[in-house]
Amino acid sequence: MSKYAYPAIFTPEEDGGYSITFPDLEGCYTCGTDLRDGLEMAEDALALVLYGYEKEERTIPEPSSASAFALQEGEFVNYIACDTMHYRKRYHSKAVKKTLSIPSWLNEEALAMGLNFSQILQDALMKKLHIR
């Protein structure tokens, strides 16, 4: 699964910004200079933390209900959505070299047509893994 939504607690700061915490996820917090920035930062923080959970094969907790939290004056809860696959594509696109074997006749035919082996392999893997 790569799409998630978790409740975040937004706490207003004196300077007009917000501190943002995700009570369901260990170490998931951020801040924003205003509400718009806070929403963007919250999505990024959530994707980063959940990507870490996925990579480490940690159990990802179920999100709590927004009503489960006792809020202080001025605080509010907002669900934040993220897509860890989108995050991976955006921040982890470094190319890695792979060695593979194909029959020589197939190699000759593909070279004659000027085909890009790397692109074809990427396209085939994305299709096989049902990734857009």
Q: Structural domains in the chain?
A: 3-91 (3.30.160.250), 95-132 (no CATH)
Instruction: Please say if the pLDDT value at position 76 is more than 80.
Output: yes
Q: What tokens appear for 5 in the block?
A: 């939504």
Q: What is the pLDDT of residue 100?
A: 85
Q: What is the pLDDT of residue 1?
A: 64
Instruction: Please say if the pLDDT value at position 93 is more than 80.
Output: no
| 109-125 residue pLDDT tens | 888 999 998 888 888 88
Q: What is the pLDDT of residue 87?
A: 81
